[in-house]
Amino acid sequence: SSSRSAPAADDPALVGTPPMGAFWMPFTANRKFKQSPQLIVGAEGMHYRLADGRLVLDAIAGLWCVNAGHRNPRVTAALKAQIDVLDYASNFQSGHPAAFELAARLADFAPGDLNHVFFTNSGSESVDTALKIAVAYHRARGDAGRYRLIGRERDYHGVSFGGISVSGIGRQRSTFGPLLNGVDHLPTTHDPVRNAFSRGEPVHGIEKADALEAMLVLHDPSTVAAVIVEPVAGSTGVLPPPQGYLRRLREICDRHGVLLIFDEVITGFGRLGANFAADLTGVLPDLITAAKGLSNGAVPMGAVLVRDGVHDAFMHGAAGSVELMHGYTYSGHPLACAAASATLDAYLEDGLIAQAAALSPYLEDGLHALRGLPGVIDVRNLGLLAGVELAPYAGGTMTRGQAVAQQCLARGVMVRAVGDTIALSPPFTISRAQIDEIVDTLRAAILNTVDQPSA
């Protein structure tokens, strides 16, 4: 190892290419990326600055997380203030005020009686925590026979062994051998034939929820602990739930004493134009997993929001005993709490969630105007979350999605290709003119990639 002085992030001319070999990049084609690295060296508001000096519009909010815009002034100020007061304090058998204050604010921000907050550092940790709470809840009530977990095809729940077990993405599971026992998967709600070019929640597919009833009967409902779904499956292509689907899942879970977990790592904190998907749909889950927009991406943080009845089931036994044998060194880290609290201020006091709701029809209209372009086979959207799906190329050196994303970047807009779907989830601080810029850029990129790129 050698020591290197940090490059000045605001002066791209000074940024050389760092040594590429040591960093094993996550979810990346390492060898390909490192041949022609595209580095991000700065950010401000709606934009990233690339190492070549170009400013690009960030249409995906980092990785669906920077909802309040990059380097949001409230967040920056709060982090600077916090680091001068308290850098770290454990929340194991001790505590610091910011964690308690943030938890109280989140309980207010969350719907219904989701009044209890377990802090984590990521979406994956939130999912693992929620699954463990669900199983332990039944055991705490003397119902230890409930251990099964039910996920859904095409849902993504992070990368822990628990998360990949309940996720419905074959390639992420098959790499790692046997996973958790007793896991089954509901069918995806995605219906490209009946629901193509749907706006908001699609009309068809409520009956897909009935697969849960059948699955419970198959396994014996008294063995099932919890069902976990993404209200809108994000990273597998932006798949909004059919109208009434989530409510029906809730009804079936209630009938059989099964907990319902919404993984709102993407959909939470205003992404759908409401605090949570649970608010938008009026369906209250027993637990919500959150991360990303919680701290505006500025510091890693996740949380599990838990309803009174689930939490209270643990608060028995000897008063001095630890009620849940679970936690992370950085659960409720002071800096993360400061960032999250300031992010909440941005959402609430600056009206950003209302702004996301107000802008969503404009984004919807803009994107649906792409219908009819060569290769565009579907457009899906809910709130400020959207996907434009393209017909795949047969074979080829890159997917159609990758080709379009690359073209967009060359034209100054950063989007994310998830398979052949172009995913969009801009910061809520976006203007109408910037939405136009995204749509116009996408149109040009799609028209420019009608033919397959040659090797």
**Would you give the binding string for ligand PLP spanning residues 388-427, x where CB under 6 A is met?**
----------------------------------------
Q: Is 382 in the site for ligand PLP (CB under 6 A)?
A: no
Determine, following the binding rule CB under 6 A, whether residue 127 of this chain makes contact with ligand PLP.
yes
Neighbours of 257 (CB within 10 A): 14
- Return the number of the residue (56 or 294) whose C-beta is nearest ligand PLP: 294
Count of residues in the chain: 455
Q: How far is CA 174 from the centre of its chain?
A: 22
253 to 272, contacts with ligand PLP by CB under 6 A? 263, 265-266
| Residue (230 or 286) nearer to ligand PLP, CB | 230
Q: Is 62 in the site for ligand PLP (CB under 6 A)?
A: no
DSSP string, 318-358: -TTS-SS----TTTT-HHHHHHHHHHHHHHHHS-HHHHHHH
Closer to ligand PLP by CB, 82 or 160: give it: 160
Cα→Cα distances 222→124, 253, 312, Å: 27, 11, 21
Instruction: Give the residue, chosen from 157, 190, 271, 368, that forms a contact with ligand PLP under the rule CB under 6 A.
Output: 157
CB 221 within 8 A of CB 260: no
- Between 12 and 123, CB nearer to ligand PLP: 123
For 192, the 3-state DSSP assignment is coil
Q: What H or E segment, with its residue span, contains residue 101? A: helix 97-109
Site pattern 285..314 for ligand PLP (x: CB under 6 A): ------x-----------------------
Query: Quick one: three-class SS letters along 325-336?
Result: CCCCCCCCCHHH
Residue 140 or 287: which CB sits closer to ligand PLP?
A: 287
Angle between helices 400-410 and 432-447 (to 10 degrees): 130
Instruction: Map the footprint of ligand PLP across residues 193-252, applying CB under 6 A.
Output: 230, 234-235
Name which position in 122, 195, 343, 425 contacts ligand PLP (CB under 6 A).
122
Q: Amino acid letter at 263?
A: D
Give least dist CB 302 to ligand PLP, A. Answer: 6
Binding site for ligand PLP (CB under 6 A): 122-124, 127, 156-158, 230, 234-235, 263, 265-266, 291
